[in-house]
Structure 1
Amino acid sequence: MWRCPLGLLLLLLLTGHVALGAQKGRGRRELAPGLHLRGIRDAGGRYCQEQDLCCRGRADDCALPYLGTICYCDLFCNRTVSDCCPDFWDFCLGVPPPFPPIQGCMHGGRIYPVLGTYWDNCNRCTCQENRQWQCDQEPCLVDPDMINAINQGNYGWQAGNHSAFWGMTLDEGIRYRLGTIRPSSSVLNMHEIYTVLNPGEVLPKAFEASEKWPNLIHEPLDQGNCAGSWAFSTAAVASDRVSIHSLGHMTPVLSPQNLLSCNTHHQQGCRGGRLDGAWWFLRRRGVVSDHCYPFSGRERDKGGPAPPCMMHSRATGRGKRQATARCPNGHVNNNNIYQVTPAYRLGSNDTEIMKELMENGPVQALMEVHEDFFLYKGGIYSHTPVNLGRPERYRRHGTHSVKITGWGEE
C-alpha cells in the first residue's frame, strides 16, 4: 500500500492524459461506462486491500473481479468515468471515495447490493430495497434442527450432515434420490415363496454375503441424482445372483443404464420405474455389463427422459439373446447379454428372508423412505417423530428399493 499526495496525483493524471492524447485510438477501458454512476455497490468490500494491490499509472492487469465485471486498483482508474474498485480511494489514496455508497444488506461481513443474493443451504436469500434479506422457506434435505433433535433423543441411531445432500430441498431429495414406483396390486398379490427352517436349525446372529461368497458380491453403484433405484437395485441383486449360481464363472456387474435407457415400457428411466418390469426385461431381453454400457449420470437440473437405448439384441433360440450393437463404451469389446430366471416374491417374515439370503444370495427389498432417513449416520434406523410439530411440507416420504446383503446385531 502507498499514499499519494494530491499534487503528485494530479501530475500523474495529467501525464497519463498526455500519453493518451498521443495514441491514435482509444482502448476498451476509455470507452467503458463508469462502474459507480449511481453510487458504489458493495462499498464495504475489500478488493484492493484483500490483495494488497495498488498500481501506479495505468496497469490493465491491476484488476479484480467485481460483481460480474472487473474493477481496477491503478491510478488510471481515478478519472472522470471511474472503474476503480470500491476501496481504491480509501486504501490506495487515503481519501474518501468521490461517489456515494449504495446501501445494501449485510451478510458474513460483506454488504450485498439490492437484489444481491446468497444461498443458505437450499434457500436463496435476496437483498430487498429496505436493506432486509428475504429468504425462501423450502424445507432442506439436510436440516440441522432435525439432526440435533434426533441426536438428543433416544432413537437408537445417529444423524449427521451428508455433504452430497447439502443445498438440496426435501422435495428434490424425494424426487431425485429414490425412484421406485410402488408395485401394483397384481404384483402384491403374487404367490409368495416360503422357506422353512429344518428341525433344530438356528440362523446365526450375524451374516454377510461377501464373507460366504468372497469376490462374488459387488459393491453398490452410485445412482447420484437419478431417481432410478428400480434399475440399480435390480441390476445389483442380479449381478450377485449370476456370480453365485455360476460358481464364479461369470461375475459381471450388470448395467443399470441398460435398464434405464432400454426398458422403457411403463418405465420412466431416471424419473422412476417398477421392479416387476425390470425383472421381466432381465429375463426376456437381458442386459450387458456396466463396463460395456456404463451409467451416463444425470443431474437434478437436467430433466427429461433417459438417453436413448444404445444396446439392442436379437433372439438366438430357446430364449437366449445376442447383442446386435457394439458396447457404448468403445474401449470394451465384450457385449455378452446376461439373462436371469423368473423373479419370485418372498414372504415378509424376517426368518424366511434371512434363510433365503444365506442360501441363495442377496435379496431385493422395498422400503418407505421418510425425511429423517437422509440424515442417517449409524445405529439401527427407525422413523422418528421429530417433525410431527412442524408443517406437513417438512414430512415427506417416497419408495426406494435396495439390495440386502446380510444382517447383524448392535
Structure 2
Amino acid sequence: MLSQALTVLFLATSVTSIAVRHRQRFPGPYCQTRRPLQCCPGRDDSCTVPIRDTVCYCDEFCGIHNAEDCCPDYENVCLAQWATTSKSPPTNECFHEGRLYGVGQTIQKDCNTCKCVTSWSNLDLQTWECENLACINEPALVEGVNRGRYGWTARVYNKFDGVSVIDGLRYYLGTIPPKSQVKELFPVKANIEGLPIEFDSREQWPTYIHPAMDQGRCAASWAFSTAGVTADRWSIQSGGEVLDDLSVQRMISCGNVEGCDNGGRVEDAWSYLQKEGTVSEYCHPYTSGVSRQSQRCTYIEESACRDNLVYKTTPPYRIARDERRIMKEIMRNGPVQAIITVHPDFYLYESGIYSHTREEFLLLERNHTISGTHSVKIIGYGEENGVKFWRCVNSWGQSWGERGMFRIKRGTDEVGIEDFVVAVWPSHGPGLN
C-alpha cells in the first residue's frame, strides 16, 4: 500500500501543473468517457481518446513518461481511481471499443450503421440500434464456401469493407440485362472441328490481351467488358501494331448513361462504338471509379489528344449458345463478352473453378434482392481434375481473384455465362489495313 501511495503521489506531482493548464484549454471530458475501462494500468498505447487533431492518453505510463500526453481529466479520473477502489463501468450506456457515446451518435459496424438511442422500455437505459444489412465481407459465407469443398476458395477483400450486398449490386456490377429483341439476334454458328482441350488467348497472342482493370465504385461493367474485348481484338487484328487500352470513361461520359448508379446495357455500348467510336485510355482516362460521377463529355477536338484516331467497330454479333462454338470463336478470333448473374458468394472468390454455392441463403432474411447482372470478358478455356472451365477477366482490379481473373464451370451455363455471348470486329481506326 505504501508503494502504491508513493507512485500515485509521484504521478500526481508530475501532472498537476500540466493538468491545470490543459483543463483550462480543453475541459473535456476525456478519460471519463472511455468504456469499459476509463484508465489503463501500466503502458497501453491503445488507451487513448481523441482530442483536437490528435489523441491523449489515459494509461499509467503517460504520467511517468510525458505528462503532456495525458488527457486533461487524467488527474481527476485516473489518479483518483488508482488511489481508491475502482468501480465497475456502467452497463446502461452506449460504449464501443472503450469509448462512451451519447444519444444520437453513431458508429459503423462493417456495413451497418448503429445509433445510440434511449430505450423505449427504460428511459434510464441507452442502447445501440443497428441496421441489419448483409455485408459482402460476411465471415460466415467465407467459412461456408471453404468448408463446403465446392472446388473454389473464398476470402474477404479490403475493397468490400463496409459495403453491403445491396450496395455491391448497385455499384460494383452495372450491366442491365439485354432487351428481348437484342437477345433474339441470330447467332453465328462456326465450324467446331479441331478444338484443343485447353486454350488461353494470352498464350496464343502474347502481349495482345489486356489485363483486368478496376471499375471502382461505379456500376460500369457494361463499359469495361466492352472496351476490354474491343482492345484485345484490335491488337489481334492489327497484328500487334495497336496495343492501346481503350477509354471506358468516354463511353460513360458521352454515351448518355446516368452516372455510376444505374448501370448500362452492353448493346448501347456497342452501338456507341459503332457510331461514335472511342479513344485510347491515355487520352480520356477513367475517373468515375473514384468520383462516382459520369463526368463531362470531352470532345476529341477539345482534348489533349485531338490528333488521336477514333476506334470504331462493326455491329456486335452473337455466338450460338453452345460451349464448343464459343470455344471455337475465342480460339479463332479472340476474347468475347459474356453476361453473368452475380450472387454474394462471387464477390468473395479467391481461386479455383467457381460455381454458385447457394451458401448465401443465410443472408436472405436480411436482403430481399441478393443477385445482379454483370458482364465479363472470356479469354480462354480448359479443364482441371475433370472439371471444365472458362477463363474470364473481371473488372475489380488485379488484387481480386486470380490476378483479376476467375475460372468458372463450363458447359452447364453456370450463372448464365453461355446464354448471351457477343463479339465485334474493328471497323475503323489505327492499325487496320
Tell me how far apart the structure 1 counterparts of residues 18 and 100 of structure 2 sit (CA, whole Å): 34
Taking a change above 3 Å as real, the CA distance of residues 106 and 98 of structure 1, as seen in their structure-2 partners, is closer
Asked if 1:407 is matched to 2:381, the reply is yes
Q: How does 1:3-402 map to 2 (within 5 A)?
A: 3=7, 5=9, 30=24, 33=27, 35=29, 40-42=32-34, 44-46=37-39, 50=43, 65-66=50-51, 84-86=72-74, 89-91=77-79, 94-95=82-83, 104-105=93-94, 107-108=96-97, 110-115=98-103, 117-129=106-118, 130=125, 132-197=127-192, 201-264=193-256, 267-271=257-261, 272-299=263-290, 305-310=293-298, 312=299, 323-327=300-304, 335-388=308-361, 390-391=364-365, 393=367, 396-402=370-376
CA displacement at 1:392 relative to structure 2: 6.8
Q: Is the 8 A contact 1:243 1:250 kept in 2?
A: yes
The amino acid of 1:295's aligned partner reads Y
Structure 1: gaps (5+ residues): 21-26, 53-62, 313-322
Deviation track 1:70-96 (CA, whole Å, cap 9, x = no partner) reads 668789xx9xxx972457643599435
Tell me how far apart the structure 1 counterparts of residues 208 and 202 of structure 2 sit (CA, whole Å): 7
Q: Secondary structure at the match of 2:83?
A: coil
Taking a change above 3 Å as real, the CA distance of residues 117 and 45 of structure 1, as seen in their structure-2 partners, is farther
The amino acid of 1:161's aligned partner reads V
Q: TM (normalized to structure 2)?
A: 0.71
Q: Is the 8 A contact 2:111 2:164 kept in 1?
A: yes
Taking a change above 3 Å as real, the CA distance of residues 106 and 87 of structure 1, as seen in their structure-2 partners, is farther
Q: Is the 8 A contact 2:222 2:264 kept in 1?
A: yes
Q: Secondary structure at the match of 2:217?
A: coil
Q: Secondary structure at the match of 1:351?
A: helix
Aligned to 2:122: none
Taking a change above 3 Å as real, the CA distance of residues 158 and 31 of structure 1, as seen in their structure-2 partners, is closer
Taking a change above 3 Å as real, the CA distance of residues 100 and 357 of structure 1, as seen in their structure-2 partners, is closer
Deviation track 1:175-210 (CA, whole Å, cap 9, x = no partner) reads 11100111111211112111122xxx3311111101
Tell me how far apart the structure 2 counterparts of residues 189 and 166 of structure 1 sit (CA, whole Å): 40
Tell me how far apart the structure 1 counterparts of residues 72 and 87 of structure 2 sit (CA, whole Å): 11
Aligned to 2:418: none
Q: Is the 8 A contact 1:387 1:395 kept in 2?
A: no
Q: TM (normalized to structure 1)?
A: 0.75
Tell me how far apart the structure 2 counterparts of residues 12 and 158 of structure 1 sit (CA, whole Å): 55
Taking a change above 3 Å as real, the CA distance of residues 96 and 128 of structure 1, as seen in their structure-2 partners, is farther
After superposition, the CA RMSD in angstroms is 3.9
Taking a change above 3 Å as real, the CA distance of residues 148 and 243 of structure 1, as seen in their structure-2 partners, is same
CA displacement at 1:407 relative to structure 2: 0.7
Q: Is the 8 A contact 1:240 1:362 kept in 2?
A: yes
Tell me how far apart the structure 2 counterparts of residues 262 and 360 of structure 1 sit (CA, whole Å): 29
Percentage of pairs with the same residue: 35
Bigger CA radius of gyration? 1
Q: Is the 8 A contact 2:8 2:79 kept in 1?
A: no
Q: Secondary structure at the match of 2:377?
A: strand
Taking a change above 3 Å as real, the CA distance of residues 235 and 29 of structure 1, as seen in their structure-2 partners, is same
Taking a change above 3 Å as real, the CA distance of residues 88 and 202 of structure 1, as seen in their structure-2 partners, is farther
Q: Is the 8 A contact 2:249 2:284 kept in 1?
A: yes
The amino acid of 2:137's aligned partner reads V
Tell me how far apart the structure 2 counterparts of residues 88 and 47 of structure 1 sit (CA, whole Å): 14
Deviation track 1:126-166 (CA, whole Å, cap 9, x = no partner) reads 44553544332101112111222222224232222122112
Q: Is the 8 A contact 2:39 2:78 kept in 1?
A: no
